A and B are shown apart, each in its own frame.
Chain A
Amino acid sequence: MDNKIKMQARKVDFFYGKTQALKDVNIDIHTNKVTAMIGPSGCGKSTFIRLFNRMNELLPHTSFSGEIFLDGMEINRSSVDAVDIRRRVGMVFQKPNPFPKSIFENISYGLRVNGIKDRGFIEQRVEDSLRKAVIWDEVKDRLNDSALRLSGGQQQRLCIARCLAVENEVILFDEPCASLDPISTAKIEELILELKKDYSIVIVTHNMQQAARVSDYTGFFLLGELIEFGKTQDIFTAPRDKKTEDYITGRFG
């Protein structure tokens, strides 16, 4: 492995009630790289990335064991505040989920809840974030319109901008293109490639071509286990495990 490690998962087990969703998962997320998680529906990949920003602890009747590190610090320790972790590790969800507020307020929300009050600073940051998410030109004249009036693809880029505004270090994408058309999908993929200059990125996807196009590393999940993890080109051209090969050649899943 040729560069720095941003996040690590060690011996991760996760349960929904009594159902085991993740079994002994170990993974490294590299700094300024895109790491893709692939696998069939229900294999635990979304559950897994939600551990990186402690999102799963909002769900009732779940249990977790193992360790997750961010820059070497275990994030589930009682001395660590989940709010701080989520500030550093942002998330973009499967379905675009803008707040029923204006476009401007959607972006400024993350700044305001983190205690930033300076109006000029907020305005600048909103513009910067919208530019970075390549949606500024489409919305600059209607920042006070409701975000719900944007198209699905625009909403998803708005959600990415909302995430960027808090200046986190890692961005988790949970099937960000699942509900988008091919053109919007292409825009999001371009954006991800652009963002990896500044961020470490984890993306869950059902779309193997997408994983091949955008990622540097790929992990293949099956029934809660990480079957294989490595450089994307190795996984797609010379998988070591028969199950990985069957999946990426479309024999199941």
Chain B
Amino acid sequence: MSYSRIKEKIYKWIFTILAFSSLFFLVGIVIVLFKEGIPIFKEVGFLKFMLGRKWYPTHTPPEFGVMPLILGSIWVTIGASLVCIPLGVGSALYLNEIATFRQRQFLKPVIELLASIPSVVYGFFGLVVVTPFLQKLFNLPTGLTALNASLILGVMATPTVCSISEDALSYVPRSFREASFAVGANRWQTLTQVVIPAAGSGISTGIILGMSRAIGETMTVLMVAGGAAVIPHTFLEPVRPMTSAIAAEMGEAPMGGSHYHALFAIALILFLITFLFNIIAEVISRRFRVKLGLSG
């Protein structure tokens, strides 16, 4: 074999290995999650673990019911979507439909910059600015609440929602708009009845990925959600989402013990939820590309 053929083969292998390495990491993580998480299901029982209303991992005897943690995550994620959907979709509509070229050139990088702020900075901001504000506003014993976490997470997820929605809107062919204007529709009708429905699946993909970002976020919720592992009844109570439970407790959980396995099981649940979100987003966006006649 000639030298150049060998070189070509080597290149091919190097890039193949690089490309497949992420698959390797993914599989590795999944195996570890299952391996370390499964024992707690055997010990406590799957249903009792999932539906248990008490999370007292350090008591004797300990109680491993993750319902408060799951509900904590759900609450802050729903709260965050209430913030990031209007903010993200609204800014995307503005950028794509209303803004002049120069406003767009200025605003788009600014919104994207929000995504590059480290989460600990968001948490810090929530701690020193939002917390006292909420405490005063609602006259609460503590401002570290689900509401606080929702607000901060919502702002954090906004760039994801905005940039994906904006892409989706800009993929809507100009011919759709022209067709709409040509039959006498005005801008508002064209936007709400042609452009947004055509971009709808792209926008939903953005929303789902934004939510998936919110549910997986750790540092911020650790700092501002309050951390109480009880089932929340209003947004004004402290919560302990799954991520902050793992981050806060992993250090003190004895390796190989029940608490340790329970935390892995929580990580597994979290992984499955975000995995599901991503699959839904992928399915929707594929349908969207087919619908617009772009490559499937």
Contact = CB atoms under 8 A, between A and B. Distances in A.
A87 B177 CA distance: 15
Interface stretch (B133-141, B180-188, B277-285): B180-188
A166 interface: yes
Nearest to B190: A113
Contacts, number: 73
A83 B182 contact: no
A110 B293 contact: no
A148 interface: yes
A97 B179 contact: yes
B290 to A, nearest CB: 9
Contacts of B194: 99, 109
A110 B183 contact: yes
Interface in A71-110: 82-84, 86-87, 90-91, 93, 95, 97-101, 109-110
A100 B189 contact: no
Contacts of B254: none
B101 interface: yes
A183 interface: no
B292 interface: yes
Given A99-B194, A100-B292, A93 B183 contact: no
A114 B175 CA distance: 20
A163 B178 CA distance: 12
A159 to B, nearest CB: 7
B155 interface: no
Interface in B154-184: 173, 175-184
B198 interface: yes
A95 to B, nearest CB: 6
A122 to B, nearest CB: 13
Interface string A94-138: 010111110000000110111000000000000000000000000
A166 B291 CA distance: 26
Interface string B176-217: 111111111110010001100110000000000000000000
A58 B182 contact: no
Given A93-B178, A97-B173, A113-B189, A163 B198 contact: no
A60 B193 CA distance: 23
Interface of B: 101, 173, 175-186, 189, 193-194, 197-198, 291-293
Interface of A: 53, 55, 58, 60, 82-84, 86-87, 90-91, 93, 95, 97-101, 109-110, 112-114, 148, 159, 162-163, 165-166
Q: Closest 9 A-B residue pairs measured CB to CB?
A: A110-B183, A87-B184, A97-B175, A113-B185, A91-B182, A113-B189, A97-B179, A86-B184, A100-B291
